[in-house]
Amino acid sequence: MMNIMWVSMILIGIFVALMKGQLDIVNQVVINHTQEAVVFAIGLIGIMSVWLGLMKIAERSGLIDSIGRLMGPMVRLLFPEVPPNHPAISAMVMNLAANMFGAGNSATALGLKAMEELQQLNTKKERATNAMCMFLVINMSSVQLVPLTVLKIRSDAGSANPAEIIGTTLIATTVSTIVGILACKILERNR
């Protein structure tokens, strides 16, 4: 699926640029956007190291086990094949927390850690497990409690009440998370 999407986006894009006689746009993207990607990856090294370091401490102190036990019932429901106390659980919980509070890069670091832990439970390494799909869908549908950038755009544009969309956002995001979880549970049955 990623394959098809990736190839079609590039080829369709090049074709459209060709039709518009603006092929140089493609050249610009090849140079600039790829550089942005590398700068972003390198920028991630620092925050990644911080969280992996902290996670190591939490692992040794037993904090990770405690979080696992605390989240037990919910985890059993959403991720039945992840054993209780597995380090994947606290990485997932911390990723979702960081996500909700708008710490984007920290969330990415913790999310990658969670995926690595889930991969250790995976018997077919090239195939996603149910837990991975569920984690990513929850991750992609649950968002920042205070969408700061949106608030900024609204207040810059002279809104009478920039924050009035927080309530509607929370309702919409709750609906989408529940729908995503249900979709996962239904789809994971066809293997």
Partner 1 sequence: MVKLLSVLSISMIPVMISIILLHGSLHKIELYDAFVEGAGEGFKTAIRIMPYLVAVFLAVGIFRESGAMDLFTQLLAPVTNFMGIPEEVLPLVLMRPISGSGALGVVQDLVGTYGPDSFIGRVASTMMGSAETIFYTMGIYFGAIAVKNTRHTLAAALVSHLAAVVASVVVCTLIFR
Q: Which is nearer to partner 1, 74 or 97 (CB)?
A: 97
- Contact at 8 Å (CB) between 172 and 129? no
Smallest distance from partner 1 to CB 83, Å:
18
Query: Which pair of tokens denotes residue 14?
Result: 């090049």
Smallest distance from partner 1 to CB 22, Å:
7
First-last CA distance in the chain: 16
Smallest distance from partner 1 to CB 31, Å:
10
Residue 158 region by backbone torsions, left for phi larger than 0, else alpha for psi between -120 and 50, else beta = left
Q: Which is nearer to partner 1, 60 or 73 (CB)?
A: 60
Exposure class string for 79-107: b at 16+ Cβ within 10 A, else e: beebeebbbbbbbbbbbbebbeeebebbb
Phi, psi of 176 (to 5 degrees): -70, -35
- Establish if 121 lies at the interface with partner 1 (CB under 8 A): no
Q: Which is nearer to partner 1, 50 or 74 (CB)?
A: 50
Q: Of 28, 69, 72, 74, which one interacts with partner 1 (CB under 8 A)?
A: 28
- Establish if 184 lies at the interface with partner 1 (CB under 8 A): yes
Stretch that binds partner 1, among 70-78, 81-89, 118-126 (CB under 8 A): 118-126
Smallest distance from partner 1 to CB 105, Å:
10
- Establish if 77 lies at the interface with partner 1 (CB under 8 A): no
Query: Which pair of tokens denotes residue 62?
Result: 């037993």
- Establish if 123 lies at the interface with partner 1 (CB under 8 A): no
Taking the CB of residue 153, how many other CB atoms lie within 10 A of it?
12
Q: Of 70, 74, 77, 148, which one interacts with partner 1 (CB under 8 A)?
A: 148
